[in-house]
Amino acid sequence: MREKSLLKTSWNKEKSEIELLIRKMKFQDPRKTFLEYSKDKLKEVFLRNYFRFSEKEQNFWKIVLDISEKELTKYKSNFKTRKFLKIQPYPL
């Protein structure tokens, strides 16, 4: 059942469960998302991908998932210290 509902958000043939879950959190009815996933799983995905949500979505999920400002600050600071991208100069 979970695979079928995830495929509904795979409009570009994306297969990553995390990516599809983020899309569900952004675009699907939250009640359905809560029925399919545990609160801990949603919280982990939200905190690791906080920057991908709009301000309105961020506020909603912070309240629904009981995320404190202290916890959020911790994740934000960890994100800032990680180096995901190596910026290359644009070739001329």
- Per-residue confidence in pLDDT tens, the chain, 92 aa: 456 665 566 666 676 788 888 888 998 889 988 898 999 999 999 998 888 899 999 999 999 999 998 888 887 776 654 555 455 555 55
Answer whether residue 74 is part of any domain: no
The answer to whether residue 76 sits within a structural domain is: no
Q: Is 61 among the domain residues?
A: yes
Is position 31 within any domain? yes
- Of 9, 57, 17, 55, which Cα lies nearest the Cα of 37? 17
Residue 38 is assigned to a structural domain of this protein: yes
Range of the domain at 25: 2-10+17-69
Residue 15's CB is within 10 A of a number of other CB atoms, namely: 9
How many structural domains is the chain composed of? 1
